[in-house]
Amino acid sequence: MNQTTPPTAASMPEGHLNALLTAVESKTVIITGGANGIGAATAKLFHAHGANVVAADLESSRGAAEALIESLGQPSRASFLPASVVDWAQMTAVFKETLRQFGRIDIVVANAGIMETQPVLDMEDLNADGELRESLEASRVIDVNLKGTLNTLRLAMFYMKESPPDSPRSIVLLASTSGYFGGTGVSAYIASKHGVVGLLRASQSAAKRYGIRVNGVAPFFTPTHITAGFAESWKAAGLEANTVDGVARVIARAAMDPTNEGVCLLTAGKHVRDLESTRMQLLPSWLGSDTAEFMGRAMRFFTEIGGYVLPKARTG
């Protein structure tokens, strides 16, 4: 099996990306978590190339979102819509209002995410009776990062499947290197981002039925609010870091290259690699060629029967 990485957005020249971004003019982009950090940088990038942008974020982010919109060249082509990604009614309202304001939805970036502030596996977190407390914060991290991404993905597919013929029909899920590697100890965040990678893989067959492309981006260390606790130490160690603008450009690569379907671009400074194609290439050496061949036949079986046959709901 050929072990070389095929040409993808991972190796795309900057000029090629700029050419692809010309196609975003007059299109509409929804970005969750769009008021700050990577989300705001992504909104600026798409807007600079002529797109209408909608920053969907918490009401508490209104000030940052309004400042972002005011900084754009044409604020009339941008909107802040307050919503929590875990609230289905609020997120539905975001999509409906976007259609009302701009008439179309072409690209959705599921960027909203949080990280726990206390260790989830801390066995010293006890109540007055000496019993281990439930980690409510861990549940919230998993809800926002995984349930919120699933909500965004489902609504994006529903409202995008009737998009005009010239629409990119593109969804980008923000995973993380923590969705592939799990050594940093932030248990809820790592589990949730592994779930986002699972959504990326599981969504492909349904998305293709509607002509929708779903791709992922997996940023490594990027200076934002959730990495502030070790940003200076990282810099002092001489380790290369992303910038929010650099991650935004990788998101644009994932969204705008029509050859991308099911890719997940790791971005670590100057390093950009498609993790999904690499994983597929390495399956024989990982599983052994005999097991890889069997798993391939098994997956073809599911394709031939139209997908996994869901069990009936239990009534008792």
- The answer to whether 33 and 112 are in contact (CB under 8 A) is yes
Order of strands across the sheet that contains 271-274: 78-82, 52-57, 28-32, 107-110, 170-174, 213-219, 264-268, 271-274
Q: Which two tokens stand for residue 219?
A: 């940023």
- For 172, residues 6+ apart whose C-beta sits below 8 A from its C-beta are 107, 108, 109, 110, 214, 215, 216, 217, 251, 254, 255
Catalytic residues: 189
CA distances to 151, 157, 195, 307, 313 from 310, in Å: 21, 21, 20, 9, 9
Task: Enumerate the β-bridge partners of residue 271.
Answer: 268
Q: Which amino acid is at 222?
A: T
**Which one-letter amino acid corresponds to residue 161?**
K
Separation CA 30–CA 17 (nearest Å): 20
Of 90, 255, 256, the residue nearest 172 (C-alpha): 255
CA distances from 268 to 160, 190, 241, 247 (A): 31, 17, 6, 9
Q: Look at residues 47, 14, 9 and name the one whose alpha carbon lies nearest to residue 267.
A: 9
